[in-house]
Amino acid sequence: MPASVAPSLFDDMPEPPKPAAPAPAPEPALKPQAAAAPAPAAPTPTGGYSASSIEVLEGLEPVRKRPGMYIGGTDERALHHLFAEVLDNAMDEAVAKHAKLITVDLDADGVLSVRDDGRGIPVDPHPKHPGKSALEVVMTVLHSGGKFSGKAYETSGGLHGVGVSVVNALSDVLDVTVWRDGFEWKQSFSRGLPLAPIQQVGPSKKRGTLIRFHPDAEIFGVGAAFKPARLFRMARSKAYLFRGVEIRWTCAAERITDHTPTEATFHFPNGLADALAERIGEMETVTPTFSGRVERKGEAGAVEWAVTWSPIGFGDADSFVQSYCNTVSTPDGGTHEAGFRAALVKGLKTYGELTNEKRAVQITAEDVIANAGALISVFIRNPEFQGQTKDRLSSPDGQKIVEALIRDPLDHWLTENPKQANVLLGFIIERAEDRLRRRKDKEVQRAAATRKLRLPGKLADCSRQSADGTELFIVEGDSAGGSAKQARDRATQAILPLRGKILNVASATADKLRQNIELNDLILALGVTPGPRFDIEALRYERIVIMTDADVDGAHIAALLITFFYRSMPEVIRQGRLFMALPPLYRLQAGPLSEYARDEAHREELMATVFKGKKVELGRFKGLGEMMASQLKETTMDPKKRTLARVTLPASEEDIEDLVERLMGKKADARFRFIQDNARFAVAELDV
């Protein structure tokens, strides 16, 4: 399977709707009012749709009109995305090594504050926007930011210059405080508009940025509020992604409705390894966790990862892969995940070659991930994401960097611990074999589905449509099949000749069974699905009659068939619909007098009665094929004259198993002896 979607571990960002990329900045020159052209007076076929209908949204208006484009909707997930944007900006300051501490606080009124001790958003007048501070520009102009050039930030989660302005647009209250260059500055906004110009509050030695905001009920609906548990998880997950940061969490007790703590501090010196350890707890894993962190030499960029494998899955998922780029969660994965999978596949295959494990060649990414729990975090320059909510990483670099940087550590990890490497390789190979088996099963099912109602070519079906009163004769060999076709009653009797010995079902694997053409044809003719989905109603005939030669081979084939029915559709036997034909072994003739004998004993009996004192000509049938059609009809097939033996099950399941084992088990010589001893009636024991 494609690794099943893991329940979000730390981020709580499930089922992402896909937001589109943010729109280009509106063109300020074209104001809607200015563009108001005179509307055509008379109604026209275009219904007044003219230049005046084309609006250009100003400033942050597009965000309020179409929030879905920027935050993926207005639901709870979108609401919490506001926090992600503000936290991402603080985290970018930390990753750029300008901030060490981030505090997050949700107050009693539902106002959320995020503060960092970084450089502070610049407050000096912006050269291109006279009369406005850089802070006001950042807060009110889409596509304004310090992360485009890579000068102020190397590997940032922010890249569009959109995030915090969107938060501003969608908040009824938003206050920014900046501590910078010896002063404290403050500016307040509502629904994206400044309430007053930026103010210098007074001197201060502090550094950093504080954003306090409250989501606008006009956008998110009355009563929409941050969920402490969700904020808590998001904050904690951030801390795992950068060891150089400490995140402190506080929350007003009255907002908490579950077990979320009112205070907590997150700092994880072991990063993702800590995160994975917390996630798996005491769970049994195939190998110890493989984790590490590698930075690119001489260039910006790094990869950190932690992965382990669990034979029983992780809670409610078989596997999970959680990925991040520049500390931004990417629930839809992307190139970094692809690179991670590719690295694992190549590493394991190489190790397989090294240790002469030939089966390793069949390993694919799917197998490696099938039972994996993995966390991957990559830091790259100028990442490309899908949309503003950044659910998926699309930079080709993601794959290249991850693959290249993980390769060596993986090779070392494998070769340094051959014991655990072998265990892991064996486990992954099993996944590959499982996958191949499932695929085969599917193909067989598909083939069966397309053949639906198509009957096997060699079946001579009867003409009656309903099952009532019909019989299917399973006949040994084509020549006997030919005689049987001539001898039958076309309306009610169908003939299916089986070639050679069918498979020994008692010892065959399910795979082999499915491959067996003879058995497949039989199943098709019967119109049923063997196994747990068997439905007796689908059986196309009222009776099924096994008709084999009266010799050791014939007995063996009959025994195999009965075992097959018993194993794959016992209901047919339980309902008394499986029969044995009893073709004669001898023909006795004295002048016009002629009789058939089923067996030795029957012959003796006839000799002693009907043919008493007569000179008898005795013929022995070597096989059904030797009989003339008329003889076969008269002795074995004609419902008015023939005798059928109904196959029944011995009373106890144990007895059946014992018999099946003796007849069909792996010990060929035991079977052979048993059949020889019992000749054709090896089968009649099951019968009565």
Ligand X SMILES: Nc1ncnc2c1ncn2[C@@H]1O[C@H](COP(=O)(O)OP(=O)(O)OP(=O)(O)O)[C@@H](O)[C@H]1O
- Which residues carry out catalysis? 476, 549, 551, 553
* Size of the residue set binding ligand X (CB under 6 A): 22
Q: How far is the CB of 56 from Mg ion (least distance, A)?
A: 19
Q: Is 307 a binder of ligand X (CB under 6 A)?
A: no
Q: x/- binding map, residues 618-637, to ligand X, per CB under 6 A?
A: --------------------
Asked if residue 90 binds ligand X (CB under 6 A), the reply is yes
Q: Which two tokens mark 359?
A: 């089966």
- The reply, when asked if residue 164 is annotated as ligand binding, is yes
| Residue 173-212 contact track with ligand X, rule CB under 6 A, x = bound | ------------------------------------x---
- Among the listed residues 400, 234, 410, the one whose alpha carbon sits nearest the alpha carbon of residue 327: 234
DSSP 258-286: SS--SEEEE--TTHHHHHHHHHHTT---S
What does 623 interact with, of ligand X, Mg ion, none (CB < 5 to 8 A by kind)?
Answer: none
Binding mask 46-85 for ligand X (x = CB under 6 A): ---------------------------------------x
Please check if 59 is assigned to a binding site: no
Which value, in Å, is the radius of gyration of the alpha carbons in the chain? 40
Interhelix angle for 271-280 vs 228-241, to 10°?
130
612 Cβ contact list (under 8 Å, min separation 6):
none
* Residue 147 dihedral angles phi and psi, to the nearest 5°: -115, 15
Which partner, ligand X, Mg ion, none, binds residue 543 by CB below 5 to 8 Å per kind? none
Q: Which of 198, 225, 201 is nearest to 213 (CA)?
A: 225
For every residue of 473-530, DSSP letters joined together read: EEEESHHHHHHHHHHS-TTTEEEEEE-SPPP-TTTS-HHHHHH-HHHHHHHHHHT---
Of 383, 101, 95, 395, nearest to 241 by C-alpha is 95
Q: Is 161 in the site for ligand X (CB under 6 A)?
A: yes
CB–CB of 621/587 below 8 Å?
yes
Q: Which range touches ligand X (CB under 6 A), out of 156-164, 289-297, 570-578, 633-641?
A: 156-164
Identified binder of Mg ion from the candidate list 19, 161, 333, 530, rule CB under 5 A:
161
Determine, following the binding rule CB under 6 A, whether residue 237 of this chain makes contact with ligand X: no
Does position 138 interact with ligand X (CB under 6 A)? The reply is yes
Which positions from 79 to 108 touch Mg ion by CB under 5 A, shown as an x/- string? ----------x-------------------
Site for ligand X contains 333 (CB under 6 A): no
> Taking Cα atoms as reference points, which of 391, 402, 336, 274 lies closest to residue 21?
391
Does residue 118 belong to the site contacting ligand X (CB under 6 A)? yes
Q: Which stretch binds ligand X (CB under 6 A): 112-120, 261-269, 294-302, 404-412?
A: 112-120
**β-strand 290-295 against 302-309: which pairing, if any?**
antiparallel
Dihedral of alpha carbons 71, 401, 403, 234, sign = negative
List the single partner that 118 binds among Mg ion, ligand X, none, CB under 5 to 8 Å by kind: ligand X
Does the annotation list 613 as a binding residue?
Answer: no
390 is in an annotated binding site: yes
User: Phi and psi at residue 246, in whole multiples of 5°?
Assistant: -120, 130
Q: Is 159 annotated as a binding residue?
A: yes
Contacts with ligand X by CB under 6 A lie at 85, 88-90, 93, 116, 118-119, 121, 138, 145-147, 158-165, 209
Binding residues for ATP: 49, 89, 116, 158-164, 390
Contacts with Mg ion by CB under 5 A lie at 89, 144, 158, 161, 163, 165
